[in-house]
Amino acid sequence: MSAHYTLPTDAVWFITGCSSGIGQTLATYIASTTTNRVIATARNSSSLSFIPSTPNVLKLTLDVTSQISIQTALTTSLQHFGRIDIFINNAGYGLMGDTEAVSDSDARAQMDTNFWGAVDITKTALPILREENPKTGQKGGVIIQVTSLGGRLAFPGNAFYHASKFALEGFTEAVSKELPADWNIHFCLIEPGGVKTNYATTSLASIAPHPAYTDPKLPTNVLRAYKSSPEAMKNWADPKVVVERLYEVVRDGVEGCNGGKGGIPFRLPLGSDSWGMQRLAMEEGLKEFGVLEGTSLSISGKEQMESIKFLRK
């Protein structure tokens, strides 16, 4: 995967989950402040009325859990604009509850939206970026997965949300390593921390506590209380600033990332909470890793490590 990408002045962005939050803010930002074009999608297209209606904006109904809906939306988009340069897999929601209290149907619905929806769009996007875009003179493009701090670290009461985001990060890392550089297809995992959207309210499905987990001092209940507090979002990031940075990163890249080559980073923590907590986790993880060295290396000789050097990138 090449590190550098040149954003066309008339780039076409395809964004899922635009009825609110980061998706709506990003679609509005592109439509209002750039010469780029945008395809804004949501389960109910009537919820897209807040996004400006201009010749550079196409609003479509899209259910990311339906492959037919995905194919219809992408076909319509290509017919309308001729190509798609940037795919933003943003649609998703939170699911909070003790793991024992979450039904299988609720857990699978979470995975269908947060993980499988992004997977199906990504798999459909690849031939568009590889085969359709070059017909218009633009080679390749960018696929951005909006995961979260919760795609790298897990917190109590959110087991299936984290499962969906961890899965999306692993899926994307593998896919990104499968593609030859000359396809000019780039991936970026956007990992926001707390953002002042409706994630903690209307976009959060909450399951009643399991009878064994009612003690208010238990971790899940402490986190519930934090999220329900009026002060919870006081220091969270402004979604307008989040999308401005996202756009700038796609347009300009980040100097020094990708092993010093610059360009679009594969992972982008956004917010002091995301960056800070991830760094702390890495530091603590390295300490633990060091303690385990003797036990780990006692299992096999250095030849085992030498045999998989080809996997390093």
Task: Give SS3 for 19.
Answer: coil
The share of the chain scoring above pLDDT 70, in percent, equals 97
The mean-pLDDT minimum among 33-42, 68-77, 225-234, 282-291 falls in: 225-234
Specify the CATH superfamily of domain 12-270.
NAD(P)-binding Rossmann-like Domain (3.40.50.720)
pLDDT higher at 3 or 251: 251
Q: For residues 77 and 40, give the distance between their C-alpha atoms in angstroms, rounded to a whole number.
A: 10
Binned at pLDDT 50, 70 and 90, residue 3 comes out as low
Least confident of 25-39, 45-59, 86-100, 226-240: 226-240
- Active site (annotated) includes residue 247: no
Q: pLDDT higher for 267 or 312?
A: 267
For residue 162, report the phi and psi dihedrals to the nearest 5 degrees: -65, -40
Mean pLDDT of 97-116: 96
C-alpha distances (whole Å) from 92 to each of 11, 84, 113, 235, 299 are 24, 21, 6, 23, 41
Burial 257-271 (b: 16+ CB within 10 A, else e): bbeeeebbbbbbbbb
Mean pLDDT, rounded, of the chain: 93
pLDDT confidence of residue 203: 56
- Taking 60 as the threshold, does the pLDDT of residue 1 lie above it? no
Q: Which of 5, 29, 93, 161 is catalytic?
A: 161
How many helices (H) does the chain have, and how many strands (E)?
10, 9
Of the candidates 143, 144, 124, the residue with the CA atom closest to the CA atom of residue 184? 143
